[in-house]
Amino acid sequence: MVEYLRCRVWGKNEVNNIRVLKLIAIVFLPISLLGALLFEVVSPPAMIASMMTHYIIFFWMFFVVLIGCGFTFLFCLDKATAYPP
């Protein structure tokens, strides 16, 4: 992501599409998933028990939105980097 922004803003080198997509796929998506899992682990059990249905609905909505954003991010960035800077 940093390399993409550096190349697009300053135009020093061509953008390496594969490397940028790998950075996002290997760094951004797993960190987001780990954040969701960490939220699930550190939430107090009493809170989860009191709003179990809302919690499950929230978690799955967040998970689906996260996957959708990830795929959209990958496809949009692929199209954005198709042109030389």
Domain range summary for the chain, segments of one domain joined by +: 2-80
Selected residue with higher pLDDT from 60 and 6: 60
Mean pLDDT value of segment 11-32: 66
Residue 10 has pLDDT above 50, yes or no: no
Residue 3 has pLDDT above 70, yes or no: no
Are the C-beta atoms of 40 and 59 separated by less than 8 Å? yes
For residue range 27-66, list pLDDT tens digits in order: 777 777 777 777 777 767 666 666 666 667 777 778 877 8
Using 50, 70 and 90 to split pLDDT, how confident is the model at 6? low
Q: What is the pLDDT of residue 61?
A: 76
Q: In the chain, where does DSSP find H-type helix?
A: 2-10, 17-23, 29-42, 45-50, 52-80
